[in-house]
């Protein structure tokens, strides 16, 4: 049986997505997976569900509280691995978009891409213009209650659209590229810029020839983010992922990160360290 605790890289991929979904979890804990599992279990138990058996956890996945359903699905995947696939597939039809995204992501981490069709459908419904700004309703007065509600709904749809785009990119569907580029460079909310950066770094894992043929190379846009992102946590994410991207393309991002005028000197020092470390790795591989 393959479980989240022993699937290595797939587990790491899930953890990257958890920092936005569960911001209370520390990102530098070596026991991250166990900590997350305990967090899931606590949320489920606090709602009155038992977690001793898979059947009890499955019951919690039907809770009226969508966040508890989300935690129960994560706990089930952690405890039972591939045995959770049928429940996760069923959750792809959940009325709550966050649950559908979470289920598709967990399925992918377990080697199952059956969430692809639902994610494609959700992406189309959430961001039908794929990154282009929706025309404003001429009947809405700016800064009015109605206008603010309209803007809030759009922001939420874009947020979910980016999360769907990240799952799609993991599976190999890069349709969220235009959305991610636009939001990475123009969105006023740091959370959505971070989500956009996650989409772009996923797409960056694709073979360069494919990216060039499809005209969706994310590296130039990650370079721009590294050079001028003001929010520290977004900047750090791009900087760290540059090392994971590796090669000359990763170096290009790190070089830009060393010159960001909005980040403190300590952060720029870490960027230089990352640059030199990756440069040394590249030189070693050439020998």
Measure the CA angle with vertex 180, ends 178 and 185; round to 5°. Answer: 100
Within-domain flag for 203: no
Is the confidence at residue 12, as pLDDT, over 50? no
Domain shared by 88 and 174, yes or no: no
Q: What is the pLDDT of residues 109-133, one digit of tens each?
A: 999 999 999 999 999 999 887 766 6
Among 86, 114, 142, identify where a domain stops.
Answer: 114
Within-domain flag for 140: yes
The structure's pTM equals: 0.84
Q: What is the pLDDT of residue 36?
A: 83
Q: What is the pLDDT of residue 146?
A: 73
Domain shared by 144 and 89, yes or no: no
Q: What is the pLDDT of residues 18-58, one digit of tens each?
A: 543 443 433 444 466 778 888 899 999 999 999 999 999 99
Domain shared by 83 and 124, yes or no: no
- For 285, the domain range is 218-287
Domain shared by 236 and 156, yes or no: no
Within-domain flag for 85: yes
Within-domain flag for 204: no
Domain shared by 231 and 128, yes or no: no
Query: What are the φ/ψ torsions at residue 180 (nearest 5 degrees)?
Result: -65, -40
Within-domain flag for 210: no
Lowest mean pLDDT among 140-154, 210-224, 249-263: 140-154
Q: What is the pLDDT of residues 84-108, one digit of tens each?
A: 999 999 999 999 999 999 999 999 9
Q: What is the mean pLDDT of residues 275-285?
A: 94
Domain shared by 75 and 134, yes or no: no
- Three-state secondary structure along the chain? CCCHHHCCHHHHHHHHHHHHHCCCCCCCCCCHHHHHHHHHHHHHHHCCCCCCCHHHHHHHCCCCCHHHHHHHHHHHHHHHHHHHHHHHHHHCCCCCHHHHHHHHHHHHHCCCCCCHHHHHHHHHHHCCCCCCCCCCCCCCCCCCHHHHHHHHHHHHHHHHHHHHHHHHHHHCCCCCHHHHHHHHHHCCCHHHHHHHHHHHHHHCCCCHHHHHHHCCCCHHHHHHHHHHCCCHHHHHHHHHHHHHHCHHHHHHHHHHHCCCCCCCHHHHHHHHHHHHHHHHHHHHHHC
Domain shared by 66 and 169, yes or no: no
Lowest mean pLDDT among 105-109, 185-189, 243-247: 185-189
Domain shared by 100 and 156, yes or no: no
Higher pLDDT, 138 or 222: 222
Domain shared by 140 and 243, yes or no: no
Within-domain flag for 212: no
Q: What is the pLDDT of residues 162-173, one digit of tens each?
A: 999 999 999 999
Q: Which residues contact 66 (CB under 8 A, 6 or more apart)?
A: 94, 96, 98, 99
Within-domain flag for 20: yes
Number of domains in the chain: 3
Q: How confident is the model at residue 145 (pLDDT cuts 50, 70, 90)?
A: confident
Neighbouring C-beta atoms of residue 53, cutoff 10 Å: 10
Among 196, 231, 258, identify where a domain stops.
Answer: 196
Within-domain flag for 67: yes
């Amino acid at each position: 049986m393959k479980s989240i605790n022993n699937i290595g890289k797939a587990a790491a991929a899930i953890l990257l997505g958890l920092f936005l979904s569960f911001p209370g979890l520390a990102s530098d804990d070596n026991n991250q997976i166990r900590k997350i599992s305990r967090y899931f279990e606590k949320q489920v138990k606090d709602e009155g569900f038992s977690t001793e058996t898979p059947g009890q956890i499955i019951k919690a996945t039907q809770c009226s509280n969508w966040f508890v359903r989300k935690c129960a699905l994560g706990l089930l995947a952690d405890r039972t691995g591939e045995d959770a696939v049928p429940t996760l597939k069923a959750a792809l039809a959940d009325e709550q978009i966050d649950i559908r995204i979470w289920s598709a992501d967990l399925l992918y981490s377990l080697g199952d891409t059956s969430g692809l069709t639902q994610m494609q459908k959700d992406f189309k419904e959430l961001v039908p213009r794929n990154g282009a700004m929706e025309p404003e309703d001429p009947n809405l007065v700016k800064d009015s209650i109605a206008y603010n509600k309209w803007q809030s709904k759009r922001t939420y749809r874009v947020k979910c659209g980016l999360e769907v785009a990240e799952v799609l990119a993991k599976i190999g569907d890069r349709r969220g590229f235009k959305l991610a580029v636009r939001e990475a460079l123009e969105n006023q909310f740091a959370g959505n810029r971070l989500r956009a950066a996650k989409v772009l770094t996923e797409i960056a894992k694709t073979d360069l020839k494919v990216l060039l043929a499809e005209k969706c190379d994310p590296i130039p846009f990650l370079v721009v983010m590294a050079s001028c992102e003001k929010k520290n946590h977004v900047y750090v994410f791009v900087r760290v992922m540059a090392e994971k991207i590796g090669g000359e393309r990763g170096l290009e991002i790190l070089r830009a990160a060393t010159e960001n005028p909005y980040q403190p000197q300590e952060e720029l020092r870490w960027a230089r360290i990352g640059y030199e470390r990756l440069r040394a790795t590249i030189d070693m591989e050439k020998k």
